[in-house]
Each structure stands twice: as structure tokens, then as C-alpha cells.
Amino acid sequence: MVAPQPLRVVRCGGSKLSGARAAFSADAKYLLCASGDYVKVYSTATEKCVHILQGHTNLVTGIQLNPQNHMQLYSCSLDGTIKLWDFTDGILIKVCKYFVLSQLFMDSRVVHYWFQLVSVKLPKTPDQEVEAKELSLILDDIGQWPKCTAFGREGEYVASVRGLHLLVYFFKKKKINRFSLSATSKKGANNYFTCVACHPKEDCIASGHKDGKIRLWRNFNHKREYTFSTLHWHHDVVMDLAFSVEGTSLLSGGVESVLVQWRDGSDYKKEFLPRLGSTIEHISASPDGTFYCTSHTENKIIIIHSSLSVSAVIQGLVKGSDVKTGLVVDPRTKALVLNGKPGHLQFYCLQTDKQLYNLDIVQQEYIHQIGLNQVDLVKAAFSAQGNWLATVEQREEKEVELELQMKLWNYDEQTQSFTLNTRINMPHEDHVTALCFRDTDELEDGTPTLVTAGNDGRFKVWVLVNDSDSEKPSMGWSCDFVGSYHNYPATNCCFSEDGSLLAVSFEETVTVWNSDTWDLICTFCHPPGRIQNLCFGRLSCSKYLLGTTDCGFLCCWNLLSCALEWSAQLNVMVLQPDPLSENIAAVSRLLEGSDLFVFKPNEPRPFCIQRNVCRERVQCAVFIPRDVPDSIGSEKHQWLSRSQLYFLTETQDLLTFSTKSAEERLTPSSRQLAVEESLPMTPFSLLLGKHRHQQQSKENADLDTAVVQSHLAQGSPAVKELLHTPAHVLPSASFLCSIFINSVLISKENKSAGEVVDVVEMDSEKAEDESDEDLELTEMEQDINPTEFLGEITEIKLSKSQEKQLRKIRRMDYSWVAAL
């Protein structure tokens, strides 16, 4: 790797977990859910991700267990393939490609919102990649979402809804029944269908509607004499419906984020599980009836026990509609902090891609109702050591009435979380535009100081004061100083690194204040344009103050000479200094695409330019210090060695830079298989493994040492695969024998072994999938966004050399323990 790797923009923070209905494995031990281009396998007991099934090159739109073999899983994706997986081991078994389908995609794109339900006959060829050509159209013009279609009892019929129509197609009779509802009624009902579910044992279809009603349809094989009953509890759209396995209860969920369980289809026997967090998008029930799971808009899956008690929560990075707080780093945990659930701050660990916790800031009951003016969390800032957190929340009503509240949180060492210290109502008369803490070292015990800037033309200095009386000692924040400059709205504030200077920008002017006496020291003005970003240089460049204007200038002032040092014409959106070095990252926006410039304030020439990092506008960026400085080969990207730059685009994608190539990044996460590797590597297992190995090799050594050694070295992948492929997919031993022997023989073409095994696997599937022609259906979504291509990652195996190394490591240690 001598040649410098190009800097690549990498997505992080995981994809949406709630894109499609999740599925349980037959024994309810695993929960499978589609997440972006992957299918993730979670353990229901530990909430941990066990496997990631990688292979699709576009959004996975649906997953379904193979009804013939419950260890297998079908997944369909926008890339036009259906894949069959063994999810316990995470192996791809089969790929079906639909070139015809992609043709259909084209058609469906021409006619907007035109979706067809087609039946796909899965071909029974042994190849791993097959093309499905037998397609038959079942229903035309169906709802876009998978939850608008459901299979009836034993696959006899399929029900689908769109608009005001319910279509039922009977496979045997090949007939379609169409039921329609009137658009609105006098009572203001909104009868549009939103979802449908079919009773697993009886002929009963449940449909959800936009006004919150649920209708249970019976007798629908007659065109005229059908009946329906209505269940009504939801006050808003019914988002999803699901029947329990036996069909005794119906689950429904919607915007209210309450899971409702209707017993026996009766309006009176209902149970609730309230306050699930956010809108329920999908509901599914486990085949053994022990669990339900709900997928939520806030990127969360809740596994619920059938007694309606929450059993586990799988939480991804909450991607709200708008990250108002920007990206903030918690200095204590180095976690990324941003808006999470409404009224919450989420602490997200980027190293492990896991949400650490949610901090409830607003502390009010959240009312799930569309069109309600909710309290927004708009600003958050940490003090340098992470002892204090300041948050600002606002609620705007009719643009005139503004409710503002600033809260200051103290980190409690005992409970390891933040506790509310001071609540300040209306810190400013108008919106708070910026807030920052003064960075003071622990050694010089300066009082913690916070500065807020507001649109009301003032900036306020808040200090921690001791207002303890004889009863109880208490510390609280109170206003110390109010500054203004010609009543211009204050737009930004920023402390210098040592905390001695405060820069506040008022429209076009930057003012610099002494933070001891709060005297105005000097002003800088760069006439055209209002100041948008402001920051001080750090370390050796601490004499510089940088500002960007909205008319596309980046200015650098020298604080010693009080003069403009240099300026550049650059339409900077985001200006972010690295806390550990002098580097400053600026993201500029041209007509199309955002560019990244990294520079030091003492020289106007950037040392790293990265063109077109993303197409959208970059909203905010942050440098996150690395735990261990990364060794980066190329000089050019040395700025990434100590801290990593993350940025958030308009479309709420969290991106970062990586110097590693795609393969390097993927290898650690895409462990190929197998039972052996998924065993926990405890010292005991190592010891035992070693011991066993020794015994084996001793026995083998009696026979023929040389052959065995070579066998171990060369034929191992094939043998390993043979040994670890689940027995139920293995063909007969007689069939395997020749291949096995083949692999044991010393041959020059090593690759052949693996291929042969693949063929074997494919052949083994012959027995099944006779009747699953109607089981795999794809809804063709029209908005395909072929932005990301992850390359062809069909099967990545550990290379032979790596395997050798692994083996070496295993042999090396613990012999002394055995000797004992």
C-alpha cells in the first residue's frame, strides 16, 4: 500500500431499520430485519446483531421466511433480485435475478404510482444465480407498500388494497372480487385503505383506514353478500395490522404509538401498550406466538412479549426530520450527540455504531398527534470537560408567541448521567442563535461560564453562582452580563481557546470582548454579507479569528494587528475547527455538490481539497477525536489521524471520510461463516481446541504426516465448508465423497475446491421449493436511487494466507497451560 489511497466518503450510523416488516425465525430466537442494503439478524434475547446478510446492491424491500425450510430466508430488493439466505450462518444460498423485472421497473416508472402484483415462479435450477422468467400478473394497480397486500389462509387468496378499493384474488378460481367504499361519509370519516392483514385460520380480512377505523371483512367470496364489522379506537391513520399466529387477536398500531390488541375481533376486548416512543410503522408476530415486534419511525424495533410487555429494544441512530442541534461531541464519552427522539438528545457511539442512551431534555409527556406544535430541542452545548450541558428548547406558535427555555445539566458522577440544575425561562426575547461554554482548564478554577446569543440583539453571559443557604447547598446559573452592539441581532458567539476572548458576531460585524471585564475590545467588519460562521484558530494559530459571510467570503483576521490577514472567496456552509490541531475544515457549496477544504489559518492555501464530497448541502460537521491516533500512510490525509470528521447532509445522511479501501473496511465485518468462528473465543475454548487439535494431529501423524499437513493447508476451506454446512442442506454422503476426496488430494488448482462445494450446495436445494411459486412476490417500487454501489460482495472468504495466520495464532499460545 505505497500508493496513497484516495479519500473516500463513507456512510455511517447505519440505515433505517424500519423500512420493511421484520420477521422472526421459527423458534423466535432471531429477529430478521431489512436495513438498507443489508438484512440484519438480531438475537431477540440479547438485542445484539448476530449476522449481517450482505449481498443486495440496493434497498431491501421485503423479507420472508421460507415456509418449506424455516432456516432459510427470502429477501427481495430494489436491485431486482430475490435472494435466499441461511440466516443462522449468514450464508447466501441462492440468487434469483430478474432481468425481466427490471424491465418492468422501467415500465412502472413511466406510469407514476402504478404497481403490479406478479407471481414469480422460482426456477429449480441448481445454479447459484438463476433468472426467473416465469412471471404471471395477478393484480394490477395495487398499493405501493408491502403492507397493502396480504396472503389469506393457506395461500388460497391474496388481498390487496389501494385507495378506496379492496381486491381479493382467489388463486384456485382465478377470480377477483373488488369491494369499494365511499370516499367520505357525513361524519367526516376518511375511508381510504392503508393496510391489510388476513386471518391465518379463518376467512377474514382486516383492513386499516386513514381515519383510524379497522374493518373486518367476512364472507368476501361473494360479490354481494359480504359483511364487515368496524373496530374503532385509533384517532389517526392505522399504520399496520397483524394477526397473531392463531388468529385470536389482532394487533394494530399507528401514529399514537400505542399497540392495540383486539381479542376475538371484538370492540370491547382490547388491550393497550402505550408510549412506545413514536409512530408504529410495521407490526409482525413470531411464528411460535411468543413475541410481537413493532418497527417505529425513529429507527427502532421493539420486541414485545405476547403478554404485552416490552422485552427488548433494538435502537439505531435516530434520524429525525431536522437535526437542529447540529452535531455535538460529548467530551466525556466521545459520543456524537444530536437530536434523537422528539425532546431527547441521543448519545451515539460511532466506534460501535450503537446508541448509548437518550437524555430526556423536555421532560414532558409527548402527545402523538399530527399537526401539534411540539417543543423542539434547538441547541445543545457541552462544557470542555463535559461536566455541564446547556440545552435550549423552543415552541413556536403562530410565529408571534415563542416559548423558550434554557436548561443547564450537571453531570452526576454517581448516577453517570446528567441531572437538571437550572431552568431558565425566556433567556432571550427572541430565538437563541448560538451558545458556547468557555473552555477553562481544571487547574485554574474559573467559574463555568456560558454565553448565549439571541436574535433580540443581545448576548448574555451566564455564570454558575453559589446560592446555597443554610438549609441546603445549591449551585445555580444566573445572568452575569448582557451585551449588545447597536441592537443588531447577535448571530454567533465563540470563545478563544484560552477563554480570554469572546467573539460575537452582530449581522455584518464581529465584536471581540474581554471575558474578564466584558469590555468591547475591537470590532471587525468585512462589509458585504452577514457573518455566518465564526471560530478562533487553535494552538499555534490562536491569534487568528475566522469568519464566513453569506455572500461567499472566508475572512481571517489577525487579533494582534487587528487587521484582515487574508480572505478568500468561498461559499462556506460549515466551518469547523479541529480541537486537537490547528486544522480547520470548511465545507463550501457550489452549484452542485459540496467541496471540503482543510487548511491552517496561518496560510491561506488549503492543504487538502476534496471535491464533491456529496451532492446535497452539508448541514453541519464535527471533528471527533480518535481514541488511538490512526496511522495514515499518505501525508495528504495526515489531518485525519487524530480526529475524524463527520458531517451531516440535508438528507440526514451521516458521512465520514475513510482512507481505507472498500475491501479493507468490509473484511472485518463480513466474517464468512461458521459455527466455529461464532463460538466465543474464551481462553478455555482455545485451550480445549488446542488440546483436541494436538490429539488429532498425533493420530494423523501415525498415518501420514506429510499428506495431512498439506491437506490441512490446502484443502481446508472445502472441508471446513463441508463440515459446517448445516446437515439439512447437505446432499447424500455418496455424492459428497468424490468431492471430498478430490479436495484432499494434492492438486495445483486450489480454487476448484470451493467452486465444487458451491455446486453441491445448489444441488442440495433441488428437493425443496416446489410450491413456493406464489410465495415470493415483489412489489416494484419506482423510486430507485442507484447511488451507492457496494461492489460485488457475493461471497467473501478469508483468504488462505489469513487462515494460515489464524491457525498459527491458535497453535502458538496456551501450550504451557496444557503442560500443567
Partner 1 sequence: MANYKPVVVQSFPKLGEKITQDTLYWKSYKTPVQIKEFGAVNKIDFSPIPPHNYAVTASSRIHIYGRYSLEPIKTFSRFKDAAYCATYRDDGKLLVAGSEEGVIRLFDIHGRAALRQYDGHTKAVHVVDFLTDKYRIVSGADDYTSKLWDIPSATEIVSYSEHMDYVRCGCTSKLNTDLFVTGSYDHTVKIFDVRTEKSVMTVEHGQPVESVLLFPSGGLLVSAGGRYVKVWDILKGGQLLVSLKNHHKTVTCLCLSSSGQRLLSGSLDRHVKVYSTASYKVVHSFDYAASILSLALAPEDETIVVGMTNGVLNVKNRKREESKERFPKKKRPGYRTFVKGRNYMPKQEDFFVSKPVRSHLRKYDRLLKSFQVTKALDVVLEARNRTPEITVAVMQELNRRGTLQNALAGRDETQLSVLLAFLIRYVVEPRFAPMLIKVAEMIIGK
Strand extents, DSSP E, 426-543? 432-437, 449-454, 458-466, 475-484, 490-495, 501-506, 509-514, 520-525, 531-536
Q: How far is the CB of 617 from partner 1 (least distance, A)?
A: 32
Cell of 564: 484582515
3 state SS of 432: strand
Say how far apart CA 544 and CA 540 lie, in whole Å: 9
Minimum CB distance to partner 1 smaller for 274 or for 683? 274
Residues that bind partner 1 (CB under 8 A): 273-277, 302, 310, 360, 363-365, 367, 369, 372-373, 375, 395, 401, 423, 425, 469-471
Q: How far is the CB of 365 from partner 1 (least distance, A)?
A: 5
How far is 505 from 502, CA to CA, in rounded Å?
10
Q: How far is the CB of 160 from partner 1 (least distance, A)?
A: 33
In the complex, least distance from residue 539 CB atom to partner 1, rounded to whole angstroms: 42
346 near 318, Cβ under 8 Å?
Answer: yes
Q: Measured from the CB of residue 377, what is the shortest distance to partner 1 in angstroms?
A: 15
C-alpha cell at 29: 430466537
Q: Which is nearer to partner 1, 266 or 478 (CB)?
A: 478
Nearer CB in complex with partner 1: 260/648: 260
**Minimum CB distance to partner 1, residue 275 (Å):** 5
**Strands ordered across the beta sheet of 458-466:** 432-437, 449-454, 458-466, 475-484
DSSP 367: P
Cβ proximity to partner 1: between 351 and 478 the closer is 478
Q: How many CA atoms lie within 13 A of 579 on its CB side?
A: 18
Residue 471 near residue 465 (C-beta atoms within 8 A) = no
From residue 600, give the alpha-carbon distance in Å to each of 219, 549, 578, 597, 609: 75, 19, 10, 10, 13
- Minimum distance, C-beta of residue 427 to partner 1, in the bound complex (Å): 14
Q: How far apart are CA 43 and CA 49, in angstroms?
A: 6
**Would you say 367 or 628 has its CB closer to partner 1?**
367
Q: Minimal distance in Å, beta carbon 409 to partner 1?
A: 15
In the bound state with partner 1, the residue whose beta carbon lies nearer, of 201 and 275, is: 275
Rounded Cα gap, residues 253 and 279, in angstroms? 8
Picking from 579, 633, 811, 632, the residue whose alpha carbon sits closest to that of residue 713 is 811
Which set of grid coordinates corresponds to residue 697?
A: 494431529
Q: In the complex with partner 1, which residue's Cβ is closer, 396 or 768? A: 396
Distance of closest approach, residue 369 Cβ to partner 1, in angstroms:
7
Task: Determine how many CB atoms are found less than 10 A away from the CB of residue 230.
Answer: 11
Between CA 77 and CA 85 the distance in angstroms is 13
Residues 6+ apart with CB under 8 A from 327: 336, 337, 338, 620, 621, 622, 646, 647, 648
Q: Considering the complex, state which of residue 471 and residue 702 has its C-beta at the smaller distance from partner 1.
A: 471
Q: Find the shortest distance in angstroms from Cβ 372 to partner 1.
A: 5
Minimal distance, residue 469 CB to partner 1, in Å: 5
* Nearer of residues 198 and 273 to partner 1, judged by Cβ: 273
**CA pair distance 69, 783, nearest whole angstrom:** 32
Cβ within 8 Å of residue 338, ≥6 positions away? 323, 325, 326, 327, 328, 345, 346, 348, 648
Residue 207 in grid coordinates: 383492513
Determine the longest span between alpha carbons in the chain, in angstroms: 95
Taking the complex as a whole, how short is the minimal distance between the CB of residue 570 and partner 1, in angstroms? 43
Q: Which residues, in sequence order, are CB contacts of 570 under 8 Å at separation 6+?
A: 548, 552, 553, 554, 586, 588, 597
Task: Output the smallest distance, CB 360 to partner 1, in A.
Answer: 8
Is 177 in a helix, a strand, or coil?
strand
Using the minimum distance from each CB to partner 1, give the nearer residue, 413 or 469.
469
State the pairing for strand pair 344-349/354-360: antiparallel
Q: Which of residues 63 and 280 has its CB atom nearest to partner 1 in the complex? A: 280
Instruction: Closer to partner 1 by CB, 14 or 277: give it.
Output: 277
Residue (400 or 628) nearer to partner 1, CB: 400
Of the two residues 405 and 567, which places its CB atom closer to partner 1 in the complex?
405
| Least distance CB 239 / partner 1 (angstroms) | 17
